[in-house]
């Protein structure tokens, strides 16, 4: 059974989310501010976190920043704000997805399932599989261990960042448009995906490139897409 931590200072929203996700067989942990959420994360195994932005004591932005220091658990941000800048901010600090209030509960359930599927795939390996290693230059992904290294140094990526980098590294030399990346990784139609993909690409570059503004690995051709050159 998956443990999902729902954190929102509006108890009615927490209870509503609890009802819908419990019906899907998930076990729901509840918190009502960022500090409480961090305390639960330290004590309990959490498979996914649904986190409101505006909360007392510790807001969702600062809580996410703190969580990302040590934990790659999928995070879905909730916010009453719908502007692109707020969505980008949520992704910038390490969130994997973003849902604007008021939201359709069934859409939230679908996004939870999608994130858990990716998280489970990243966490599970088969002993029968041969070691899957993809590399170019000093960049290396061991897809069995789910490890990314650059020049031998371990790099910590979120599940979304990992999947994007794996897609590009497995297909060295091939350009992927923003829409192709979005549809491959999020498994849904790419509508207004530009900012979402661009934010994750920037995060990946910041983690794997010596100079993100002059990337060695993750290249872009404006109007075409992103690629990793063949070694």
- For residue 75, give Cα distances in angstroms to 6, 55, 93, 119, 136: 10, 16, 10, 11, 30
Residues in Cβ contact with 2 at an 8 Å cutoff, skipping those fewer than 6 apart: 26, 27, 47, 48, 116
pLDDT of residue 128: 35
pLDDT tens across the length of the chain (231 residues): 899 999 999 999 999 999 999 999 999 999 999 999 999 999 999 999 999 988 888 888 889 989 988 888 999 999 876 666 666 777 777 888 888 888 899 999 999 998 888 777 665 433 333 458 899 999 999 988 889 999 989 999 999 999 999 999 999 989 999 999 999 998 888 777 778 899 999 999 999 999 988 999 999 988 889 999 886
Contact status, residue 211 vs residue 221, Cβ threshold 8 Å: no
Q: How far apart are CA 38 and CA 63, in angstroms?
A: 7
Q: Are residues 115 and 48 in contact, defined by beta-carbon separation less than 8 angstroms?
A: yes
Residues 6+ apart with CB under 8 A from 126: none
**pLDDT at residue 127 in the model:** 35
- Sheet with 3-7, side-by-side order of all strands: 27-31, 3-7, 48-52, 75-79, 97-100
Coil vs helix vs strand at 125:
coil
d(CA 97, CA 56): 22
Q: Are 152 and 146 in contact (CB under 8 A)?
A: no
For residue 166, the model assigns a pLDDT of 94
Angstrom distance (rounded) from CA 21 to CA 48: 12
CA–CA gap between residue 37 and residue 60 (Å, rounded): 10
Q: Give the DSSP H or E segment for 112.
A: helix 105-123
> 3-state DSSP call for residue 11?
helix
End-to-end CA distance of the chain: 42
Q: What is the pLDDT of residue 2?
A: 92
Q: Do 135 and 165 meet the contact criterion of CB atoms below 8 Å apart?
A: no
Q: What distances in angstroms separate CA 19 from CA 10, 44, 99, one per listed residue?
A: 15, 21, 18
The pLDDT, as a whole number, for residue 148 is 94
Per-residue confidence (pLDDT) for residue 123, from 0 to 100: 56
pLDDT value for 125: 35
């Amino acid at each position: 059974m998956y443990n999902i931590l729902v954190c929102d200072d509006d108890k009615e929203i927490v209870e509503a989310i609890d009802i819908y996700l419990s019906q899907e067989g998930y076990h729901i942990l509840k918190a009502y501010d960022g500090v409480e959420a961090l305390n639960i994360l330290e004590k309990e195994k959490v498979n996914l976190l649904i986190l409101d932005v505006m909360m007392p004591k510790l807001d969702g932005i600062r809580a996410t920043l703190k969580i990302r220091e040590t934990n790659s658990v999928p995070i879905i941000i909730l916010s009453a704000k719908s502007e692109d800048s707020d969505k980008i901010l949520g992704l910038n600090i390490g969130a994997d997805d973003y849902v604007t209030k008021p939201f359709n509960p069934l859409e939230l359930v679908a996004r939870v399932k999608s994130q858990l599927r990716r998280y489970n795939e990243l966490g599970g390996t088969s002993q029968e599989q041969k070691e899957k290693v993809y590399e170019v230059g000093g960049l290396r992904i061991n897809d069995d261990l789910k490890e990314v290294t650059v020049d031998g140094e371990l790099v910590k990526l979120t599940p979304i960042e990992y999947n994007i980098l794996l897609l590009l590294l497995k297909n060295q030399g091939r350009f992927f448009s923003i829409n192709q990346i979005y549809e491959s990784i999020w498994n849904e139609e790419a509508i207004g995906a530009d900012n979402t993909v661009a934010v994750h690409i920037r995060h990946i570059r910041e983690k794997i490139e010596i100079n993100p503004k002059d990337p060695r690995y993750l290249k872009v051709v404006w109007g075409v897409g992103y690629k990793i050159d063949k070694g």
